[in-house]
Amino acid sequence: MRRAIIAFWALLLVVARPAHAEDLALPKSLAHLVVPDDWKAMRAQGVVAAYRRDAGGFLAVTRAEVPNPDAWTKEKKQAYADQVAAGIKASIPNAKKLTKKLTEMNGVPAVDVEAQRDGAPVVVRVLLFRTYALSCAIELPKGTDVAVARAIVAKFGPAKPIPKD
């Protein structure tokens, strides 16, 4: 009986361990990326950060040195977001079921795009800072719940509000 109780508590400690996430402050940026612990960092050239998941899936953060004044102008913001979404669609071969949404993350304009590529979910958020853009793109295996990627991109952005001046 004593062995059974010890085994039960040992199992409970393993199963009930809290989930951890890595909070990565991205270099030369105010943005942060929070990645669940089942995503493992990997090396990749030309990207700010890259991760893969044992259950399948890849995540890449890229940076483009490009001014985005139209993203910060009320009258031009939606048209600019449409151009960004069109560029994302063009970069995803065989993209289907594309949805886009213009949003803000702590004061920074952001474009969220979701698509299916050969049945696999692709989720992208582009943060449109004044002088550069950061994107977080995630592709998951076919049949994977897209909520996994949505949860990551929902937290991708500046940790603190950015002044609008």
For residue range 100-150, list pLDDT tens digits in order: 999 999 999 999 999 999 999 999 999 999 999 999 999 999 999 999 999
Both tokens of residue 45? 């050239």
Q: Mean pLDDT over residues 19-46, rounded?
A: 87
Provide the whole-model pTM: 0.84
Task: Indicate the DSSP class of residue 151.
Answer: H
CATH number, span 20-158: 3.40.1000.10
Query: What's the alpha-carbon Rg for the chain, to the nearest Å?
Result: 19
What is the per-residue pLDDT for 37?
92
Q: Which of 110, 99, 115, 22 lies closest to 68, judged by CA?
A: 110
Strand partners, 43: none
Q: Mean pLDDT over residues 32-42, rounded?
A: 94
Give me the phi and psi of 52, to 5 degrees please.
-135, 160
Cβ contacts of 65 within 8 Å, gap of 6 or more: 131, 132
Other C-beta atoms within 10 Å of 101: how many?
Answer: 12
* Extents of the domains making up the chain: 20-158
3-class DSSP string for 3-46: HHHHHHHHHHHHHCCCCCEEEEECCCCCEEEEEECCEEECCCCC
| Strand duo 31-36 + 39-41: pairing | unpaired
Sign of torsion over alpha carbons 135, 141, 143, 149: negative
Residue pair 151/134 in contact by the 8 Å Cβ criterion: no
What is the per-residue pLDDT for 164?
66
Give whole-number Cα distances, 63 to 1, 76, 127, in Å.
Answer: 59, 22, 10
